[in-house]
């Protein structure tokens, strides 16, 4: 197999990190949670939307536009492992459940969510 085909196959088999990340506002102390089956892509997409002014969460977008990216911290909260026989649908359900667990934990700790 030539090098190019080998790299394509390796990329196809690669499993990106999945789990939950948080965007924390240093100004308002509020948190935005998002879960994803591809964390690097989701974080990049979310930051791009915020910088472009098109994020669906209007409160977060307003704060981001007012104070800029430097007033926020993006943190990986939790990562899920892949199972041998898991399906994308099952992974999405697990990520959603994990996001809900983190939302409850933050609320219990007195943190506000966007």
CATH topology of domain 16-113: GIY-YIG endonuclease (3.40.1440)
Amino acid 52: pLDDT? 97
Amino acid 1: pLDDT? 60
Q: Residue 109 corresponds to which tokens in the numbers above?
A: 């700790």
Amino acid 23: pLDDT? 98
3-class secondary structure for the chain?
CCHHHHHHHHHHHCCCCEEEEEEEECCCCEEEEEEECCHHHHHHHHHHHHHHCCCCCHHHHHHHHHHCHHHEEEEEEEEECCCCCCCHHHHHHHHHHHHHHHHHHHHHCCCEEC
The dihedral sign for the CA sequence 51, 63, 65, 67:
negative
- Calpha distance 49→39 (Å, rounded): 15
pTM here? 0.86
The per-residue pLDDT string of the chain (114 residues; one tens digit each, 9 = 90 and over) reads 688 888 777 766 778 999 999 999 999 999 999 999 999 999 999 999 999 999 999 999 999 999 999 999 999 999 999 988 888 899 999 999 999 999 999 999 999 999
List the chain domain ranges.
Answer: 16-113
Amino acid 3: pLDDT? 85
């Amino acid at each position: 197999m030539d090098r190019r085909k080998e790299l394509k196959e390796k990329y196809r088999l690669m499993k990106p990190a999945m789990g939950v990340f948080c965007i924390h506002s240093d100004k308002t102390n509020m948190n935005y949670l998002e879960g994803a089956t591809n964390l690097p892509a989701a974080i990049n997409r979310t930051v791009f939307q915020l910088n472009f002014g098109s994020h669906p969460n209007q409160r977060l977008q307003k704060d981001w536009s007012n104070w800029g990216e430097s007033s926020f911290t993006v943190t990986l909260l939790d990562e899920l492992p892949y199972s041998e026989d898991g399906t994308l649908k099952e992974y999405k359900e697990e990520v959603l459940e994990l996001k809900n667990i983190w939302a409850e934990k933050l609320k219990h700790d007195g943190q506000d969510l966007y």
